[in-house]
Structure 1
Amino acid sequence: MPRPRNQAERRAQLIDAAARAVMSIGATAVKLRDVAAEADVTPASVLYYYSDLQELFSAVFDHAAATYLVIRKDAMAAAEGPVEQLRACIHSGVPWPGKGEESTRLLFELFPVALRNEAVAQAHRLFFGRQTELYRQVLAHGRDTGEFALTAEPLALGRSFVALEDGYAMDLLVGTATAEEIEARLSAHARMVTGHPAFG
């Protein structure tokens, strides 16, 4: 690893190294020495920047979640009107082959850590809440413009969309669904809860 110019750069390099290690052998199997080897530094160097592996995992989750949310927000911002914005929200939440599937797999690899690490658990709760809020906003907008005839409150429907995304993403990761099938299922759900014929 090239010598960084500052601590922020070193931390970013360690987050990338930890992410690669997690993707390679899984969060529950990763040891401090694995991250150090991936970063081409000593374990002591890792501990200089992070107090332990759990703190580093929390940073990895935060970074991955923030990147994922930026992609979703940008996709929605580029769309016009509630229908296209909801399409964009659905499409950007599907783990498409390449970076989309890789980022989803990384987040799923880190989910078990949340069961024993309060910092990661809190990050996961915030991540779920922020994704829910994206759906809530567009669903409320469609309701207010009269384009959507919602079957429930926007917040409740937003939660259901995110929960479905998580479940369907696991289907993809274990090989029982494709990205195209997931998008079709979410679109069908959108038609059911919005009453809009553009979905389905």
Structure 2
Amino acid sequence: MPRPRNQAERRAQLIDAAARAVISTGATALKLRDVAAEAEVTPASVLYYYADLQELFSAVFEHAAATYFGTREEAIAAAEGPVERLRACIRSGVPWPGAGERSTRLLFELFPVALRNEAVGRAHRVFVDEQTDLYRQVLADGEDLGLFTLGASPRALARSFVALEDGYAMDLLIGTATAAEIEARLLDHARAVTGSPAFA
């Protein structure tokens, strides 16, 4: 690992190294020495910046979630009108090959940590709420403009989209669905939820 100019840079390098190690080994099997080896430092160097592996996991999750959410937010903001924004919301949540699949795999590998790590659990709840709110706003806008006919509250339907994304992402990660198939399923759900022929 190149010598950092400051502590913030070293922490960022350790987060990146830990993320790579989580993807290759899995959070449940990962040891401090694995992260240190990936970062090309000693375990003591890792502990200088993070009290333990759990604290580092929390930092990795928060960084990954913020990056993932920011990408989605930008994609939706670039689309015009509720129909195209809902399409963008769906497409940006699909784990496409490459960076999308890697970021999804990283977050999924860290989900078990949220069950026992209070900080990661809180970060996960915020992450879900943020994604739900993306869908909620788009659905509410479409309903207000008379483009969508919703059978439930925008928030309830938004949460169902996020839950479906998680389930379908697992299908992809275990090899039982492709990214294109997941997008098609979510567009089918959009048609059922909104009553809009635009998603046919």
Shorter-normalised TM range:
over 0.9
Q: What is aligned with 1:15?
A: 15
CA distances 1:124-172 after superposition (whole Å, capped 9, x unpaired): 1110000000000000000011111111100000100000000000000
- 1:68-83 mapped onto 2 (5 Å cutoff): 68-83=68-83
Measured after TM superposition, the shift of residue 96 of structure 1 is 0.2
Q: For 1:189, give the aligned amino acid.
A: H
In structure 1, distance between residues paired with 2:115 and 2:197: 40
Hey, what's the Cα distance between the residues in 1 that align with 2:24 and 2:81?
41
2:50 corresponds to which letter in structure 1?
A: Y
Q: Give me the whole-angstrom Cα distance separating, in 2, the residues matched to 1:96 and 1:198.
A: 23
Aligned to 1:31: 31
Distance (Å, rounded) in 1 between the aligned partners of 2:154 and 2:124: 21
Q: Which one-letter code corresponds to 1:26 in the other structure?
A: G
Question: TM-score scaled to structure 2, two decimals?
Answer: 0.99
Cross-structure match for 1:125: 125
Tell me the TM-score normalised to structure 1 length.
0.99
1:83 and 1:89 mapped to 2: Cα distance? 10
Paired position in structure 1 for 2:98 = 98
Identity %: 81
How big is the alpha-carbon RMSD for the aligned residues of Structure 1 and Structure 2?
0.5
Tell whether 2:143 aligns with 1:143: yes
Residues of 2 paired with 1:189 and 1:23: CA distance?
Answer: 30
Aligned counterparts of 1:122 and 1:27: Cα–Cα separation in 2: 18
Q: Secondary structure in 1 aligned to 2:75?
A: helix
Distance in 1 separating the partners of 2:180 and 2:152: 26
Alignment of 1:101-116 (within 5 A): 101-116=101-116
Letter matched to residue 96 of structure 1 = W
The residue that corresponds to 1:63 in the other structure is: 63
C-alpha distance after superposition, 1:94-123 (max 9, x if no partner): 000000000000000000111110111111
Residue 42 of structure 2 aligns to which amino acid in structure 1?
T
Give the corresponding residue for 2:161: 161
Once residues 196 and 154 of structure 1 are traced to their aligned partners in structure 2, the CA distance between those partners, rounded to angstroms, is 15
Corresponding residue pairs, total = 200
